[in-house]
Amino acid sequence: MPRVSLFVTCIIDQVFPQVGLAMCQVLERIGYTVDFPEAQTCCGQPAFNTGYREEARQVARHFLKVFRDAEHIVVPSGSCTAMIVHHYPGLFANEPRWLEETGRLTPRLWEFSKFLLEVARVEDVGARYDGVVTFHDSCHGLRELGIKEGPRRLLGNVRGLTLREMEPAEECCGFGGTFAVKFPEISGGMGRAKIEAIRSTGAGAVVGIDSSCLLHIGGMLSRAGLDVRTLHLAEVLAQQ
């Protein structure tokens, strides 16, 4: 059987483990053997985004070692995938060995929805979800990886699901990692605009491919007193 290795990311490991389990269920359902390299830690993005480049390099080297021999690496995050694909080459611009390691690994690294569609070539995973949802386009997935229609195609094949687009769907939710901490007023304003867009759809859940965005959106939905769930795409696709 074909094999995939999961990189579950920090936020899923620590806050949303059900997303990692859901991703595993979907991959196994469509015929993959799944392994979880237990030595994995982080992609290095938190350190990178706050200017600690040497610390980010240390974490990135460890990631490259852990997943060096993986056949496919599947990641439930556009943000972490973009960090590895687009920013590791810059981190290792002056380190030929690790730049070469990056070049060998990145063709085998896939964000979850892109893996389903472009490697497994599956659009219908046999899921069922009875309800109306809206979809949030996360910044890294949309702008750095070009992920737009793929998740919608997957949702379109979920039995019982109605996808109702928010307007605008592509605006940032305001999280941006440490941006939300450094600029809380701006982040809050962006978040409130996103919540209004979600509310206007009448959806009972907002779906995304980045749990960090969903964490931010979920907190704002709760504070606004809105009964709207946040679900990672994998959680929807795992349901039957």
DSSP per residue, 45-59: HHHHHTT-HHHHHHH
Integer Rg of the chain from CA: 18
Cα of first residue to Cα of last residue in the chain, in angstroms, is 23
Q: Is 43 exposed, middle or buried (0-12, 13-18, 19+ CB in 10 A)?
A: buried
Domains and CATH numbers, the chain: 3-118 (3.40.50), 123-238 (3.40.50)
CB contact at 8 A, 12 and 19 = yes
* DSSP symbol at 30: T
205 in helix, strand or coil? strand
What is the distance between the alpha carbons of residues 193 and 137, in angstroms, rounded to a whole number? 14
Per-residue CA distances from 107 to 78, 110, 143, 150 (Å)? 15, 8, 19, 19
159 in helix, strand or coil? strand
71 in helix, strand or coil? coil
Q: Tens-digit pLDDT profile for the chain (240 aa)?
A: 799 999 999 999 999 999 999 999 999 999 999 999 999 999 999 999 889 999 999 999 999 999 999 999 999 999 999 999 999 999 999 999 999 999 999 999 999 999 999 999 999 999 999 999 999 999 889 999 999 999 999 999 999 999 999 998 888 887 777 776 777 788 778 878 899 999 999 999 999 999 999 998 999 999 999 999 999 999 999 999
Phi and psi angles of residue 124, each rounded to the nearest 5 degrees, phi first: -115, 110
Closest CA to 56 of 43, 42, 44: 44
0.85 exceeded by the pTM?
yes
